[in-house]
């Protein structure tokens, strides 16, 4: 089911309606999940409007997969999310660097010009959206660094 979800655009913040469309979940379900999954904390601004970041959209997709595709209960999915987060903390404490959604990127000793397209992007829409986001952030960093040079 995850493969039928649209790719996540390279934006910093998403409204609850946008997240609902990106994750195939209605806004009232997202508000309920915020109560059930303490890791899910969108930023709230003017009039209590919710703004989700890219990592929260990925988290919602993971929760959706656990509940709808893998058949977990809310309690089971909550426990599984806590296990996943503890695993990430353990990796961080062990000094491993982890990019969300990417285990290992290896260019095989080749230099990639301007973070060129990877054949991996065509296979996995979730990875494609994430790589696009990372690429856009790297371009922004490069531009900021070149201004100071």
CATH assignment at residue 36: 1.10.1660.10
Q: Is the pTM of this model over 0.75?
A: no
> Does residue 26 fall inside a structural domain?
yes
**Model pLDDT, residue 85:** 84
In a domain, 92, yes or no: no
Residue 83 inside a domain? The answer is no
What are the beta bridge partners of residue 81?
A: none
Residue 142's domain comprises 2-77+114-148
Structural domain contains residue 84? no
- Which pLDDT tens digits describe the chain residue by residue (149 residues)? 445 889 999 999 999 999 999 999 999 999 999 999 998 999 999 888 999 999 999 999 999 999 999 999 999 999 999 998 888 888 777 776 555 544 444 444 444 444 444 444 445 555 566 677 787 778 777 777 766 55
Instruction: Please report whether residue 101 resides in a domain.
Output: no
Number of domains in the chain: 1
**Contact yes or no for 58/130 (Cβ under 8 A):** yes
Asked whether residue 87 is domain-assigned, the answer is no
Alpha helices per DSSP H over the chain: 16-23, 27-36, 54-64, 74-93, 120-123, 125-148
């Amino acid at each position: 089911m995850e493969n039928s979800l649209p790719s996540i655009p390279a934006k910093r913040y998403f409204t609850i309606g946008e997240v609902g469309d990106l994750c195939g979940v209605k806004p009232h379900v997202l508000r309920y999940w915020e109560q059930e999954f303490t890791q899910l904390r969108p930023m709230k601004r003017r009039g209590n409007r919710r703004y989700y970041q890219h990592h929260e959209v990925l988290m919602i997709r993971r929760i959706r997969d656990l509940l709808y595709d893998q058949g977990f209960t809310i309690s089971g999915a909550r426990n599984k999310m806590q296990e996943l987060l503890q695993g990430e903390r353990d990796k961080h404490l062990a000094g491993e660097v982890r990019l969300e959604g990417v285990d290992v990127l290896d260019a095989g000793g080749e230099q990639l010009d301007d973070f060129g397209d990877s054949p991996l992007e065509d296979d996995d829409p979730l990875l494609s959206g994430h790589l696009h986001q990372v690429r856009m952030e790297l371009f922004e960093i490069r531009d900021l660094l070149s201004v100071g040079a």
